[in-house]
Chain A
Amino acid sequence: MSKKNKPNNQVTNCTLYVEGMHCASCEILIERKLLKQDGIDSVDASLKGGRVDIKYVGTEKPNLEGLNKDFKSLGYKFSDKQFKRDITPAISFKNGGLSINPKKFKNYLRLIIISVSLLVAFYFFQELKLGQYVSVDSKSALPAFLFLGLAAGFSSCAALVGGLLLSMSKQWNEIYIDKDSNREKAEPHMLFHLGRITSFTILGGVLGLLGEKISLDNLAVFATITIIVSIIMFILAMQMLGVDKFQRFKFTAPKSLTRFASDETNFKGRYMPFLLGSLTFLLPCGFTLIAQAIALTSGDFIRGAAIMLMFALGTFVPLMMISFSGVAFNSKPHLTAKFNIVAGLVIIFFAIYNINGQLNVLGLDSLNDIFSSSEQGEVVTANEEGVQIINITAKGFEYIPTSSTTIKAGVPTKIIVDNQGIQGCAYFMAANGLIDNYVSLNKGITEIDLGEPNKGQYKLTCSMGMVKPVDIFVI
């Protein structure tokens, strides 16, 4: 933010640190109030960095004492040094007694409870083979994305996009106040949703195209990107749960974009709801992020567009309900808090589940190794043609070895898979280091030639890493 009439005097930069900023309103308030001070030419407040970058005219730096006096009633404190963080440990022993830092202790306790709950949930999820019913990837049937959108529309999208819709409703009502019929009054909302569906479809296709360009048909690249997206999901979810340590990470649109979006005068035109709806593609809600990542990994324009279209259609019904009922979670603070905990836990679970799956795909250590470890068996005897054969039965959502999975290195080897009715992503078998990308398992027998494998321990799983891995030992 800067003053409109810039003087020609020399401008000097300085940075001050601010304690007490907690939201975007604080940023704007500090910027506008500082701009009223003599000599200050422009101000850029950053909630993320807890700082303000000031450009001032002349040689006299803004007076800290004066600023602190002016901003004291607003709850802000300025300093030219960074404020110290709370370094008192959660639990410590002082003067022979136990001392607890309640804020930190509560945070750690919450983290422990979350971790244990998630581990238990993961164990049952894996043991009951539920992954086949809920896993959504780029190969899933399109209606799956409709349901994903529906879930988003009733949860994180309701909070994020629903909140935006509500904040704009008042303004739209004023613009359309001269309209008599409900149909005409509904016009801005319909334009908003139309814009949203259109942009999701087109940009979904663009993501697919982008995925094609960066070779996401390579399982290792796909796995790496999925892990990165899942880590972002995990951080967003921890923020929803209010875990302090994660609050420093901010995944926000560029400030110029948020300033543009927050300036309602930019959306006052009759067709501006369409533009605003289109821009919601850029709002990072957890489920949208998942759908966008899947569209990216589809590596195909049409497929990416279809995935995002179905997702947007899924969110349409719940968001329309918000449009016309005027009720969203974030208009009720107590509901927001509860919602954030539930949605945060669900997103964390799926983030961990995704990361774990991709670790399996990459053949790295994963949670599966904690719950089930296998040991080397007898070495498979080569047949008359000198080929080692590993027999696997693929059934339901499981790969069941019917022979030993320990083989000798440098000897021609094949995996014979008997598909007795495999489901979901288990149809695509992968083993990083042994199989290039993945192999589709046709009904009946599929023969996979592994060549002459090198020494190592490999994981045989599905292309999403969700099937419980079978360890293959090459000695």
Chain B
Amino acid sequence: MNTTFTIDGMHCQACVSLIRMELEDNGFEDKVVSLELKDDNKGELVLEGIEENDVQIVSDLIN
């Protein structure tokens, strides 16, 4: 099952790369389905097959 995160404050590819790096460093690299910039300084991250407690971990990583 996929979990989608909406991320505020993403405005450029450097932000995308930073978040991707954080995810990789914390063992989520295989779970990333997509990480894209959206309009209005927002981004969207889709992860697959993550546990319920991973949602909080990912949120903390991004924040």
A and B interact physically:
yes
- Complex interface residues of chain A between 52 and 99 (CB less than 8 A to chain B): 74-75
Chain A 13-33, CB within 8 Å of chain B: the 1/0 string? 000000000110110110011
State whether the Cβ of A247 lies closer than 8 Å to any Cβ in chain B: no
Q: Shortest distance in angstroms between A334's beta carbon and chain B's nearest beta carbon?
A: 10
Residues of chain B within 8 A of A33, CB atoms compared: 21
State whether the Cβ of B12 lies closer than 8 Å to any Cβ in chain A: yes
State whether the Cβ of B54 lies closer than 8 Å to any Cβ in chain A: no
Chain B 34-46, CB within 8 Å of chain A: the 1/0 string? 0000011100000
Q: Which of A32, A75, A331, A333 contacts B18 (CB 8 A)?
A: A32
Chain B 1-33, CB within 8 Å of chain A: the 1/0 string? 000000011011111011001000000000000
Residues of chain B within 8 A of A25, CB atoms compared: 11-12, 14-15, 18
A437–B9 alpha-carbon span in the complex (Å): 50
Number of residues from B at the complex interface, CB < 8 A: 14
- Complex interface residues of chain B between 41 and 57 (CB less than 8 A to chain A): 41
Of the listed stretches A164-172, A301-309, A421-429, name the one at the interface; the rest are far from the partner chain: A164-172
Q: Which of A29, A166, A264 contacts B17 (CB 8 A)?
A: A29
The answer to whether residues A22 and B12 also contact, given A332-B40, A333-B41 and a CB cut-off of 8 A, is yes
State whether the Cβ of A330 lies closer than 8 Å to any Cβ in chain B: yes
A33–B17 alpha-carbon span in the complex (Å): 10
Residues of chain A within 8 A of B39, CB atoms compared: 333
Q: Shortest distance in angstroms between A397's beta carbon and chain B's nearest beta carbon?
A: 45
11 intermolecular pairs with C-beta atoms under 8 Å apart: A25-B15, A26-B12, A29-B17, A29-B18, A29-B21, A74-B14, A75-B13, A167-B8, A170-B8, A331-B40, A333-B39
Extra 11 A-B pairs, beta carbons < 8 Å, given A32-B21, A331-B40: A22-B12, A23-B14, A25-B11, A25-B12, A25-B14, A25-B18, A74-B13, A75-B13, A330-B41, A331-B41, A333-B41
